[in-house]
Structure 1
Amino acid sequence: MKISLCTTCMGRAHHLKQTLPRNLADSVDWARPDAVEFVVLDYSSPDDLAEWITTDPELRPYLEAGILKFARSEGHTSFRHSHAKNMAHALATGDFVCNVDADNFLGFGFVHYLRAVFSRRPNAIVATNRLDSRLNLGVHKGSMGRIAMSRANFALLGGYDESARFKGWSGEDSDLLIRAVRMFMRIVFIRERRFLRVVQHSDLDRVVLTECEDAAADIAKIESLDGTAMRPILKYVVGRAVAPRIANRGTPTGAGTVEWHGRRRSA
Structure 2
Amino acid sequence: MSDKTPEISFVTTCKGRLEHLKQTLPQLAAFDGCEVVVVDFDCPDGTRHHVRANFPAVEVVEIDERPLFNASQARNAGAARARGAKLVFVDADIVLAPEFVDMVAQIPAGRYAEFDFRNDVRGTCVIDRTAFDEVAGYDEVMQGYCGEDVDLYHRLHLMGYQRHVLPQAGIARVIEHSNDERVANYGVGRKLSFAKGKLYREIKSLLMRFEMKADIDIRFRRELWKRVDDLFRSKDVFSDGAFIEIPLPKIESPPFIANCSFERSLRFTVKVDLS
Residues 34-183 of structure 1 correspond to what in structure 2 (within 5 A)?
36-56=34-54, 59-60=55-56, 63=57, 68-117=58-107, 120-121=108-109, 123-129=110-116, 132=117, 135-136=118-119, 142-163=120-141, 166-183=142-159
Letter of the structure 2 residue corresponding to residue 16 of structure 1: L
Cα–Cα, structure 1 residues 243 and 74, in superposed 2: closer, same or farther, change >3 Å?
same
Cα–Cα, structure 1 residues 174 and 87, in superposed 2: closer, same or farther, change >3 Å?
same
Q: CA deviation at 1:183?
A: 1.1
Letter of the structure 2 residue corresponding to residue 21 of structure 1: P
Partner-residue secondary structure (3-state), 2:87: strand
Task: State whether structure 2 residue 13 is matched by structure 1 residue 8.
Answer: yes
Task: State whether structure 2 residue 182 is matched by structure 1 residue 195.
Answer: no
Deviation sequence 1:180-219 (CA, Å, 0-9, x none): 1111101101123442631110111111112x3x32xx24
CA distance in 2 between partners of 1:79 and 1:17 (Å): 19
CA distance in 1 between partners of 2:172 and 2:122 (Å): 9
Partner-residue secondary structure (3-state), 1:83: helix
In structure 2, the residue matched to 1:19 is 24
CA distance in 2 between partners of 1:202 and 1:91 (Å): 31
Structure 1: runs of 5+ lacking an equivalent: 137-141, 225-231, 252-267
CA distance in 1 between partners of 2:150 and 2:169 (Å): 19
Partner-residue secondary structure (3-state), 1:242: helix
TM-score normalised by structure 2 residue count: 0.69
| Alignment: residue pair count | 209
Larger Rg: 2
Greater shift, 154-163 or 236-245, is seen at: 236-245
In structure 2, the residue matched to 1:208 is 184
Structure 2: runs of 5+ lacking an equivalent: 1-5, 220-275
Quote the sequence identity (%): 28
Task: State whether structure 2 residue 214 is matched by structure 1 residue 246.
Answer: yes
